[in-house]
Amino acid sequence: MKRLPIHPQPLPNEALSSWIYRLADSYGLPSSTFMERAFGYAHLSDQQLDLAPPADLLMALAERTRVSTSRLHSMTLAGYTPLVLDSVAPAEGVFATYISQFPSFASVEKRFGRAICRLNEGDWLPWIPGFSREQPPICRKCVAQDSIPYRRIYWCAAWMTCCPDHHEMLEAQFFQPGIRRENLYAFTPPRAASREVVALDRLTLQAVTGGSVLLPHGRVISAVVWMRALRSLIDELIRPVYTLARSKQIIVRAWKAAGMSLHEGLGLVRVFEIMSAEQRERAFAVAAAAVDRLLEGSLDTRPANVKYWSMSTIFDPPPKHPEEDLLSRPPPGRAHTQPAPAKTWGELWEAAVAAAKRSPLEAYHLRQLMIWNLEGYVRSHPSSRRARATSHKPD
Ligand SMILES: [Zn+2]
- The per-residue pLDDT for 392 is 45
Rounded distance from Cα 260 to ligand 1 centre (Å): 27
CA 348 / ligand 1 centre spacing (Å): 88
Quick count: other Cβ atoms within 10 Å of Cβ 285? 21
CA of 189 to the centre of ligand 1 (A): 15
* Residue 391 clears pLDDT 60, i.e. is over it: no
What spacing in Å lies between the alpha carbon of 144 and ligand 1's midpoint? 9
Give this prediction's pTM: 0.79
pLDDT higher than 70, residue 378 = no
Percent of the chain scored above 90 by pLDDT? 63
Q: What pLDDT band is residue 154 in, cutting at 50, 70 and 90?
A: very high
**Segment 266-325, tens digit of pLDDT:** 988 889 999 999 999 999 999 999 999 999 999 999 998 888 888 889 999 887 766 555
Interval between CA 140 and ligand 1 midpoint (Å): 7
| pLDDT reported for residue 133 | 63
The alpha carbon of 70 and the centre of ligand 1 are apart by a number of angstroms equal to 26
The Å distance, Cα 280 to ligand 1 centre, comes to 19
* Residue 167 binned pLDDT confidence (cut-offs 50, 70, 90): very high
**Which pLDDT does position 182 carry in this prediction?**
82
How many angstroms is it from 159 CA to the middle of ligand 1? Answer: 15
Residue 334 has pLDDT above 80, yes or no: no
CA of 222 to the centre of ligand 1 (A): 24
pLDDT at residue 124 greater than cutoff 80: yes
CA 227 – ligand 1 centroid, Å: 21
Please tell me the predicted confidence (pLDDT) of residue 132.
Answer: 59
Query: Quick one: three-class SS letters along the chain?
Result: CCCCCCCCCCCCCECHHHHHHHHHHHCCCCHHHHHHHHHCCCCCCHHHHHHCCCHHHHHHHHHHHCCCHHHHHHCCHHHHCCCCCCCCCCCCCHHHHHHHCCCCCCCHHHHCCCCCCCCCCCCCCCCCCCCCCCCCEECHHHHHHCCCCCCEHHHCCCCCCEECCCCEECEECCCCCCCCHHHCCCCCCCCECCHHHHHHHHHHHHHHHHCEEECCCCCEEEHHHHHHHHHHHHHHHHCCHHHCHHHHHHHHHHHHHCCCCCCCCCCCCCCHHHCCHHHHHHHHHHHHHHHHHHHCCCCCCCCCCCCCCCCCCCCCCCCCCCHHHHCCCCCCCCCCCCCCCCCCHHHHHHHHHHHHHHCHHHHHHHHHHHHHCHHHHHHHCHHHHHHHHHCCCCC
Query: What's the gap in Å between 321 CA and the centre of ligand 1?
Result: 40
Bigger pLDDT: 356 vs 393:
356
